[in-house]
């Protein structure tokens, strides 16, 4: 099975009518795609009532890929904004927050995306073991942003570690722009699922450090037909190796993600079942 979705549902104007209100967008989004990456959980552990609302607004088979809270992945190195006294308390709060999605059968995975300074060291390998233990039986996906994990001397050990520990591999497609980027490594590490996150290939924008908001630059990219054809071939190859391939487009600085996702869906000849009815903005 192949599922296609986008990162977040608020900014993809091309799939919404002009008068679509913010609180209507998730329902309308779920009439186009069967999966979405939930990003707000990265910035704060979400209140349970938010998760209940999002579960209620989406079709029965809809899936959320929930980003792990930034305190869990070490993005806030000085822990200025971390409201939790201990890591155990933080992980517990996060686990409790996603219970509504679990009960609704809509939790695809929790995505641990680690920062560029999270390199391949013994200390960090041990921390990955700690994260896996704290998440208990919740499905977890792993994405690196540091090239050392995929260097020739470590790549096979990295993938084998993920297999042994039960981490879903998140295959990243992104610019090859030094140690703060990783290569495209289309390998399955658990039999039931693999995730592909498509960040675009804006080499010059990836390590941008100028005055403009970096998010507006880093993901400014539109995949062309040839690139999407190659990606489609890899998706079909991976589908033969596991039960489900989830493809998430994150190239949305220029509002290209939704269009590219629709293109890939057409290339793969997929019709998604069980989507919400498209009722908003018809007249």
Residue 279 lies in a domain: no
- Pairing status of strand 2-7 against strand 245-249: parallel
Report how far apart, in Å, the C-alpha atoms of 91 and of each of 6, 101, 122, 130, 207 are: 26, 16, 22, 11, 30
Residue 276 lies in a domain: no
Question: Is the distance from CB of 37 to CB of 5 less than 8 angstroms?
Answer: yes
Encoded tokens for 221: 């990219």
pLDDT at 280: 47
Closest CA to 144 of 114, 179, 168: 114
Which pTM value belongs to this model?
0.93
Residue 11 lies in a domain: yes
Question: Is the distance from CB of 101 to CB of 66 less than 8 angstroms?
Answer: yes
Residue 47 lies in a domain: yes
pLDDT at 233: 97
Residue 138 lies in a domain: yes
**pLDDT less than 70: residues of the chain:** 77-80, 208-212, 214-215, 279-283
CA distance 185 to 182: 8
pLDDT at 77: 60
Which structural domain, as residue segments, surrounds residue 154?
A: 2-268
Residue 274 lies in a domain: no
CA distance 282 to 192: 38
Residue 283 lies in a domain: no
pLDDT at 195: 98
Residue 151 lies in a domain: yes
Mind listing the pLDDT tens digit for each residue in 31-46?
Answer: 999 999 999 999 999 9
**Counted domains in the chain:** 1
| Helices and strands, counts by H and E, the chain | 12, 8
CA distance 55 to 244: 21
pLDDT at 17: 86
Closest CA to 91 of 77, 76, 75, 72: 72
Report how far apart, in Å, the C-alpha atoms of 137 and of each of 132, 140, 178 are: 9, 9, 35
For residue 204, what is the domain's CATH number?
3.20.20.410
């Amino acid at each position: 099975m192949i599922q296609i979705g986008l990162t977040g549902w608020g900014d993809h104007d091309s799939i919404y009518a002009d008068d679509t209100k913010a609180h209507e967008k998730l329902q309308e989004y779920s009439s186009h795609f069967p999966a979405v990456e939930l990003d707000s959980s990265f910035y704060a552990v979400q209140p349970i009532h938010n998760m209940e609302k999002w579960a209620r607004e989406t079709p029965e088979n809809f899936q959320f890929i929930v980003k792990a809270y930034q305190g869990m992945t070490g993005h806030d190195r000085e822990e200025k904004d971390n409201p939790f006294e201990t890591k155990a308390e933080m992980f517990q709060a996060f686990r409790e927050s996603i219970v509504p999605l679990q009960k609704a059968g809509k939790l695809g995975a929790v995505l641990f995306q680690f920062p560029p300074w999270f390199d391949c060291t013994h200390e960090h390998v041990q921390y990955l073991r700690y994260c896996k233990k704290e998440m208990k039986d919740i499905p977890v996906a792993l994405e690196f942003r540091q090239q050392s994990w995929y260097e020739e001397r470590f790549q096979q050990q990295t993938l084998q570690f993920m297999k042994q520990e039960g981490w879903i591999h998140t295959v990243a497609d992104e610019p090859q722009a030094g140690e703060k980027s990783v290569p495209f490594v289309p390998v399955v590490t658990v039999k039931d699922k693999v995730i592909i996150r498509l960040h675009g290939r804006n080499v010059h924008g990836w390590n941008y450090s100028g005055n403009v908001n970096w998010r507006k630059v880093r993901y400014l990219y539109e995949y062309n037909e040839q690139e999407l054809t190659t990606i489609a071939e890899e998706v079909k190859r991976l589908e033969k190796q596991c039960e489900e391939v989830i493809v998430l487009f994150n190239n949305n600085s220029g509002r290209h993600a939704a269009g590219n996702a629709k293109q890939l869906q057409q290339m793969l000849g997929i019709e998604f079942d069980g989507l919400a009815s498209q009722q908003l903005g018809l007249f």
